[in-house]
Amino acid sequence: MSNKTHIEKTGAETKSIGFDFQYYFFLWKLLTLNKGESVGLEVKDDVHTELKNDINIFYQVKHSVQKNMQGDIKNMTASDIDLWKTLYNWAKVISDENDNRKEIKSQLEFVKKSHFIMWSNKNLSPTNKITDNIEKLQNKTISISDFIKKIKEFKQSSKDDNIKKYIEEFLLLDKDVLYQYVLKISFELGEDEIIKNCKDAIETKFIPKNEIDNVFSKIDSRIKEDNFITIKTGNKIQITFEDFQKKYRKYFNNTRNERLQIVPLTIDLPDKLESQIFIKQLLEINDIKIDDIDLMAQFTRFKLKLENNITKWYTEGEITIEEIDRYRDEAILKWSNKFRALTNKSDFNDNSSLDIINYLREENLRIDGQELGTELSNGEFYYLSDIPKIGWKKDWEKHIK
């Protein structure tokens, strides 16, 4: 650092890579979530995951660009400021009065359901006495009293005022709380392949090797955008397994070439079929008669089947709202082109209206590149005329309420 210019010393690169490292750690944890779990970014810690039974894992994610004489990332020593800041942060979380943990009992209950992991690209120094004593306490080769004594001795020898303050706060915890807390601490160091971890997680979801980079790029871009919007609107970034499946599943399914599964209609038809707007419009142009109950029922089934399948595909993350909008705009455009072509003629009449609906009944609509078939395609035009967004007579807009 001593040979760097002032601009280089104050540049944003090292800060930026630290934020990115933390974000990609979050993304990795998101990609490896199990059912019933969630992951948060800068909510309870740098990153945290909530498991079943109210178990929380708190991650402090630290990245370093500082290198030793050999060009390797510097080791984490006993005097590493990140180490002490991390231990201090967790201690403050445990004893946070604003989170109803003023009493020792509540602190012990919290620690019982928590795990604390420091995750970093730094390697552990073989002479790090602090991590060594943490390990000894966990292995029960020293007592909590011996542990505290050794930490106090280190504090006395330290020349760093910030580290001394962190140690003071760390040791303010009740002895029993401190003991249980230290038992829950672990270190995952020398971790510098975070993007590879993300891509490996994507591969486990049965994504072909030649598509992994493509899926990673799309997921990465979308989640960054969603995170930005979430923060901008004043909300916290915490995503459940179920939310992730619904919102981002499509990016995986596209690569697997899965077709949309059309499910049959299982709900009852409405009592008064003739009261539906799309039926009223068909009655007006004599496409059906008032006593054509079977046709009314058939057309209603087509409409409801289309609505149910679109809703199912969207809620299950198989199609996106953008794909629905594009598909629906295309259907309206097909109607608009035919409607305008015939209504511009001076001899437009009910037969012309029949020509429009019969023309559209021959159209096979597509959503996400997949053909819907006659039933659902017809159902879409019945649905649009029921909202109503389209109609068959020149004055069809009278049905809009």
Between 253 and 345, the higher pLDDT residue:
345
Residues 92 and 191 in one domain: yes
Nearest Cα to Cα of residue 93 among 65, 125, 143, 57: 57
CA distance 364 to 376: 9
Q: Give the count of alpha carbons within 13 A of 166, CB side only.
A: 20
pLDDT of residue 6: 44
pLDDT of residue 334: 97
259, part of any domain: no
1, part of any domain: no
Residues 169 and 308 in one domain: no
Q: Convert 244-296 into a string of H (helix), E (strand) and C (coil).
A: HHHHHHHHHHHHHCCCCCCCCCCCCCCCCHHHCHHHHHHHHCCCCCCCCHHHH
pLDDT of residue 5: 53
Region 115-124 average pLDDT = 92
Question: pLDDT of 267-320, one tens digit each?
Answer: 889 989 999 999 999 999 999 999 999 999 999 999 999 999 999 999 878 888
Residues 292 and 343 in one domain: yes
Residues 308 and 170 in one domain: no
258, part of any domain: no
Residues 308 and 224 in one domain: no
330, part of any domain: yes
262, part of any domain: no
Which range marks the domain in which residue 53 is found?
6-251
384, part of any domain: yes
pLDDT of residue 7: 45
Residues 206 and 287 in one domain: no
pTM for the whole structure: 0.63
Region 135-144 average pLDDT = 96
267, part of any domain: no
Residues 238 and 284 in one domain: no
Q: Convert 41-60 into a string of H (helix), E (strand) and C (coil).
A: ECCCCCEEEECHHHCEEEEE
pLDDT above 70 covers a percentage of the chain that reads 95
End-to-end CA distance of the chain: 71
Residues 181 and 322 in one domain: no
Residues 97 and 208 in one domain: yes
pLDDT of residue 148: 97
Region 343-359 average pLDDT = 90
pLDDT of residue 96: 94
Contacts of 13 (CB under 8 A, 6+ apart): 65
pLDDT of residue 1: 45
Question: pLDDT of 3-55, one tens digit each?
Answer: 555 444 444 455 577 789 999 999 999 999 999 999 999 888 889 999 988 89
69, part of any domain: yes
Q: Which of 251, 282, 297 is the last residue of a domain?
A: 251
- Is 258 a residue whose pLDDT tops 70? no
Domain total of the chain: 2
Question: pLDDT of 185-225, one tens digit each?
Answer: 999 998 888 999 999 999 888 787 878 998 999 999 999 99
Residues 72 and 212 in one domain: yes
Average pLDDT, the chain: 90
C-beta neighbour count of 146 within 10 angstroms: 13
Between 368 and 178, the higher pLDDT residue:
178
Residues 356 and 324 in one domain: yes
pLDDT of residue 28: 95
Q: Convert 302-359 into a string of H (helix), E (strand) and C (coil).
A: HHHHHHHHHHHHHHCCCCCHHHHHHHHHHHHHHHHHHHHHHHCCCCCCHHHHHHHHHH
pLDDT of residue 118: 94
Q: Which of 200, 216, 251 is the last residue of a domain?
A: 251
The answer to whether 262 touches 376, Cβ cutoff 8 Å, is: yes
Residues 277 and 240 in one domain: no
Nearest Cα to Cα of residue 285 among 342, 246, 212, 216: 342
pLDDT of residue 392: 96
Taking CA 169 as the corner, what is the angle to CA 166 and CA 174, rounded to the nearest 5 degrees? 145
Question: pLDDT of 68-79, one tens digit each?
Answer: 777 778 899 999
Predicted confidence band of residue 98 (pLDDT cuts 50, 70, 90):
very high
